[in-house]
């Protein structure tokens, strides 16, 4: 009976230990889900305008700059929508740490720092692998989110309870590919971005004068009104010939179709690219005067392919850019007017490519 009693005690200990180990894995998974959900919710607000109704929510409309503050607010508010170990996670206590800034996708750490460094929103220069991110760490320990995980083995045999934490990093990246229905059927020369985009800061260059002289397709200069401190407003004209040396030019594209007439391209303003497209895919250019199409644009932000040259009927895609159209058609319907934007999400886009204002939807990076 003594031996049997000892065996029962040992078997009970193993059973309790199995319960405790299973509980550790369950709570760890729950905490990770909490961190993942908060990071993704916050990252979703990085490219969006703040809501005036809720101090921790964002709108579906796109912001012209990265909304760091609202992303952090949204992640914090998301914490209280979840629980771990049958306890609600606090969005106001000391059981979480949230920071925003740039994350190095290549080295899987805060850009310019170590894994334990805080993220920086003022990083410069910004490399192709430095992407806007939000990091969320959630902890269960003394005084935090209900304390450490209660161990049954401690109650029976002594020892200590188990603290637990989970970390998640969600990023938005510049895409190397976009889904169908995302691109407007006009392509621009990379040189216009070299001229009006600050690659070191990953944002449009800002106006330093009240007007900007831009050479159009008719070889005349136009004075375009500017607001100092805001992105340069430019006019993009039709590319007229291979020897054009101005940057502010474009070509109509039917994407992968070889049909490039007016009637072939005009429906694409509504349907956009019929198939997914990626960097290095060759798209077809109209290479003819279709000025009437400039009036078909809707004002607002569009995503357009960027090419290294417009001087051939077929060119490979170099990147994807976001442009805010404020004037469509212009004088005699010969151009569009607007500015590049720093923050626009292309749904279902993916990968990593050169950054010109277009982002992928949020995804977990750590």
Query: CB under 8 Å to 224, separation ≥6 — which residues?
Result: 211, 212, 213, 214, 233, 234, 235, 337
Give yes or no for residue 27 having a pLDDT over 80.
yes
Looking at the fold, whether 143 and 281 belong to one and the same domain comes out as: no
Sequence-separated (6 or more) residues with CB below 8 Å from residue 365:
103, 105, 108, 131, 133, 169, 170, 171
Residue 25 has a CB neighbour count (10 Å cut-off) of 9
Same domain, 238 and 323: yes
| Residue 335 belongs to a domain | yes
Domain that holds residue 255: 177-360
Write the DSSP assignment of 69-133 as a string of letters. HHHHHHHHHHHTT-EETTEEPPSSSSSEEEEEEEEETTTTEETTS-TTSPP-SS-SSPPTTEEEE
Q: Could you tell me the CA-to-CA distances from 297 to 156, 168, 248, 344, 356 in Å, in that order?
A: 73, 40, 17, 18, 20
Q: Quick: pLDDT tens for 334-356.
A: 888 999 998 889 988 999 999 99
- pLDDT tens digits, 263-305: 888 899 889 999 999 999 999 998 766 667 777 778 889 999 9
79 part of a folded domain: yes
pLDDT one-digit tens code per residue, 301-320: 999 999 998 888 899 999 99
Q: Look at the block and give the residue holding tokens 């996670």.
A: 89
**Three-class DSSP category at 243:** coil
The model's confidence at residue 11, banded by pLDDT at 50, 70 and 90, is low
Our count of domains for the chain comes to 2
DSSP line for 283-314: EEE--S--GGGGGGPPSEEEEEEEES--SSSE
User: Does residue 345 share a domain with residue 258?
Assistant: yes
Is residue 160 domain-resident? yes
Peptide bond into 343 cis (omega under 30): no
Question: How many CA atoms within 13 Å lie on the side-chain side of 307?
Answer: 26
Place of tokens 């969005």: 91
Query: Looking at the domain assignment, is residue 366 inside a domain?
Result: no
Q: How do strand 249-255 and strand 164-171 relate by DSSP bridges? A: unpaired
Element (H, E) at 142: none
C-alpha 307/C-alpha 317 separation (Å) is 5
* Pairwise CA distance, residues 238 & 68, whole Å: 37
Pair 164, 27: CB distance under 8 Å: yes
- Asked which of 125, 147, 171 is the last residue of a domain, the reply is 171
Per-residue pLDDT tens digits for 74-120: 999 999 999 888 888 988 888 999 999 999 999 999 999 999 999 99
In this structure, the answer to whether residues 162 and 280 fall within a common structural domain is no
Q: Is residue 365 part of a domain?
A: no
């Amino acid at each position: 009976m003594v031996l049997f009693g000892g065996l029962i005690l040992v078997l009970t200990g193993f059973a309790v230990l199995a319960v405790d180990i299973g509980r550790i894995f369950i709570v760890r998974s729950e905490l990770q889900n909490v961190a993942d959900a908060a990071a993704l919710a916050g990252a979703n607000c990085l490219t969006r305008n703040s809501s005036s109704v809720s101090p921790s929510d964002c709108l579906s409309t796109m912001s012209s700059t990265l909304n760091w503050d609202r992303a952090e607010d949204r992640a914090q508010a998301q914490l209280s929508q979840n629980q771990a170990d049958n306890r609600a996670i606090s969005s106001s206590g000391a059981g979480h740490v949230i920071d925003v800034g740039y994350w190095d996708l290549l080295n899987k750490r805060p850009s310019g720092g170590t894994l334990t460094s805080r993220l920086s929103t003022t990083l410069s220069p910004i490399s192709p692998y430095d992407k806007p991110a939000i990091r969320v760490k959630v902890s269960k320990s003394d005084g935090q989110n209900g304390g450490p995980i209660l161990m049954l083995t401690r109650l029976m045999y002594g020892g200590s309870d188990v603290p637990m934490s989970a970390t998640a990093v969600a990023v938005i990246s510049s895409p190397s590919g976009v889904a169908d229905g995302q691109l407007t059927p006009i392509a621009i020369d990379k040189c216009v971005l070299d001229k009006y985009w600050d690659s070191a800061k990953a944002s449009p260059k800002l106006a330093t004068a009240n007007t900007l002289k831009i050479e159009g397709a008719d070889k005349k200069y136009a004075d375009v009104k500017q607001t100092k401190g805001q992105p340069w407003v430019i006019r993009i004209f039709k590319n007229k010939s291979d020897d054009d040396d101005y940057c502010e030019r474009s070509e109509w594209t039917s994407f992968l179709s070889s049909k490039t007439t007016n009637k072939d391209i005009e429906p694409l303003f509504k349907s956009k690219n019929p198939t997914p497209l990626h960097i290095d895919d060759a798209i077809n250019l109209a290479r003819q005067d279709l000025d009437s199409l400039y009036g078909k644009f809707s004002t607002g932000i569009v995503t357009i392919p960027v090419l290294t040259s417009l001087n051939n009927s077929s060119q490979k895609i170099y990147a994807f850019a976001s442009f805010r159209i404020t004037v469509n058609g212009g004088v005699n319907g010969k151009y569009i007017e607007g500015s590049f934007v720093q923050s626009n999400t292309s749904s279902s886009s993916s990968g990593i490519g050169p950054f010109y204002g277009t982002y992928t939807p949020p995804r977990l990076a750590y």
